[in-house]
Amino acid sequence: MTEIETEPRPAVRLRPNVNAQSFRFGAPWAYADQLVMDRRTRGIPAGAVVELQDAERRPLGAAAFNPDSKIAARMLDRDPAAPIDADWFAARLARALALRETLYDAPFYRLIHAEADGMPGVVIDRFGAAAVIQPNAAWAEARLPALVEAFRAVTGVTTVIKNGSGRARSLEGLTEASEVLSGGVEAPVPVPMNGATYLADLLGGQKTGLFYDQRPNHAFAARLGRGRSVLDVFSHVGGFALAALAGGARGALAVDGSAPALDLATRGAEASGVAHAFETRRGDAFETMAALGEEGRRFGLVVCDPPAFAPSKPALEAGLRAYERVARLGAALVEPGGFLVLCSCSHAADLPRFREASLRGVGRAGRAAQILGVGGAGPDHPAHSHLAESVYLKALFLRLDG
C-alpha cells in the first residue's frame, strides 16, 4: 500500500531557543510553543506527516503534525523520508508482537502502547482472535485503514473494533466514533488472567473493555489475600477480587458504581468457579466505604483502584485530596495486621505526591503502615525512556498495624 501523501512532505521547524538535542536523543513530542507556528505551518492539515527540523533546518525525523493540539508534533521515525504506510505499520507491529509473545503464553495483552511502541497516540489491546484499537491521534485516525490492514496481516486477528471515545481524542480535535472494522463479537470475551476468567465487553465497556496494566499488581495482591476476606473498591469487572479468589481468598466484595461492570464481574466469578465466595455492592465508592465502616465490616485485604482523579495539572490538588480521602476510608476497613492496596492512574500525580497523600490519609484513619512495595504497569505497557507521562500507574502495597 502506498503512502497517503502525494506532495512533498512539509517542513516544521523548532524555535531557535529550543534544544534540538533532546529530539536527537529520542524525545517523542514537540509542543506547539516549541515550534515556529507561522501562517504556513498553521495551514498544514491535522494528521499530516511532516519533516521536523531544528532551527537551522537540519532534519530530525518524520513527525505527525496537528496544529490544533498542544502536542503539535509527535515523532514517528528518525528517517525524515520514511513512508508511513502499511509496511511501516507492519514493522512496528511485528516488533511489538515479538515482545508480547516473549512475555505471555496466551494472546491476551496490550499489543501497542502508544509512544513506547513507536506509534504515538495509538493503543491496541488484544483479546485472542479479537482486538480493540484506539486511534487517539489525528495521524493514526487518517491512516486507520493501513493500520488495520497491517495489524490483521501480522497477528492473524479477525475481529477489529475501533474505540473512538475518550479525552485524548477530544484534545486532538477528533470526534467520538466507535465501530466494528472487521469481523464481529456477539458477547463479552472471556480473558484468562492470574488464574481467573474475566469477561471483557469490547463494544460497550470502559476503554478497550479490560485493564491489562494491573495484571502484576492483581497477582501480588492475590498473594496478600490468601485466606483473607477481600474488599475491591472501584472494582470495574472484578480485577483484584477475582484474582484474589483464584489465589485462595476466603471471600470478596466488589464495589462499583456501574451495574454493567458488576454484572460482568459476577459472570467472571461464575466462569472462574468462585461465585459462591463473591458478592457485589453497587454505589458511590466513598459512600459505600463509609457505610461499610458504620456496619463494622473489616477485611483482611482492601484494594482501592479509582479512576484518574488528577488527569491534568489543573486537577492535581483536588485529585490528591480525593486520593487522601480514599486512603482514609479504605484504611479504616482493614483488620489489624491486614493489607491495604492503593492505586492511581493519574499522569499528573507522580509517585511521591501520590504516596504522600495516601499515607496522610492512612494516618488520619489512625493507622500505622509498613510499605511492602510499589507496583506499576505490566511489561506489556512499556514506558518510553524520554516520556515521563508514560509512567502513569502506581500501586502502594501497605500492611497496617493497630
Closest CA to 201 of 191, 215, 193, 213: 191
Residues β-bridged to residue 306: none
Q: Which CATH class is domain 11-77?
A: mainly beta
d(CA 50, CA 61): 8
Span 193-401: which CATH code? 3.40.50.150
d(CA 317, CA 22): 30
Half-sphere exposure of 74 (CA within 13 A, CB side): 24
Retrieve residue 16's grid coordinates. 531557535
Coil, helix or strand at residue 69: coil
- Cα four-point dihedral sign 106, 109, 283, 400: positive
pTM (2 d.p.): 0.93
Position 2 scores a pLDDT of 37
Residue 377 gets the label, from left (phi > 0), alpha (psi -120 to 50) or beta, of beta
Residues of the chain with CATH 3.40.50.150: 193-401
Query: Does the domain formed by 86-182 have CATH 3.10.129.10?
Result: no
Position 62 scores a pLDDT of 98
Amino acid at the residue 39: R
Retrieve residue 98's grid coordinates. 515479538
Q: How many residues does the chain have?
A: 402
Closest CA to 316 of 335, 344, 290: 344
Cβ atoms 63, 52 nearer than 8 A: yes
d(CA 231, CA 9): 55
- DSSP E strand stretches across 136-244: 159-162, 179-182, 189-193, 196-200, 229-233
Residues of the chain with CATH 3.30.750.80: 86-182
Instruction: DSSP for 277-344, please give it.
Output: GEEEEES-HHHHHHHHHHTT--EEEEEE----S-SSGGGHHHHHHHHHHHHHHHHTTEEEEEEEEEEE
Position 5 scores a pLDDT of 55
Cβ atoms 202, 208 nearer than 8 A: yes
Closest CA to 225 of 397, 11, 33, 21: 397
Position 229 scores a pLDDT of 98
Residues of the chain with CATH 2.30.130.10: 11-77
Burial class (CB in 10 A: 0-12, 13-18, 19+), 183: middle
Position 338 scores a pLDDT of 98
d(CA 165, CA 178): 7
Residues β-bridged to residue 198: 191
Coil, helix or strand at residue 240: helix
**Is 345 an active-site residue?**
yes
Closest CA to 112 of 157, 82, 81: 157
Based on its alpha-carbon atoms, the radius of gyration of the chain, rounded to whole angstroms, reads: 23
Count of other CB atoms within 10 angstroms of residue 64: 27
Annotated catalytic residue, options 12, 224, 285, 345:
345
- pLDDT tens for the chain, 402 residues: list them: 334 555 689 999 999 999 999 999 999 999 999 999 999 999 999 999 999 999 999 999 999 999 999 999 999 999 999 999 999 999 999 999 999 999 999 999 999 999 999 999 999 999 999 999 999 999 999 999 999 999 999 999 999 999 998 888 988 999 988 899 999 988 999 999 999 999 999 998 777 889 999 999 999 999 999 999 999 999 999 999 999 999 999 999 999 999 999 999 999 999 999 999 999 999 999 999 999 999 999 999 999 999 999 988 999 999 999 999 999 999 999 999 999 999 999 989 999 999 999 999 999 999 999 999 999 999 999 999 999 888 899 999 999 997
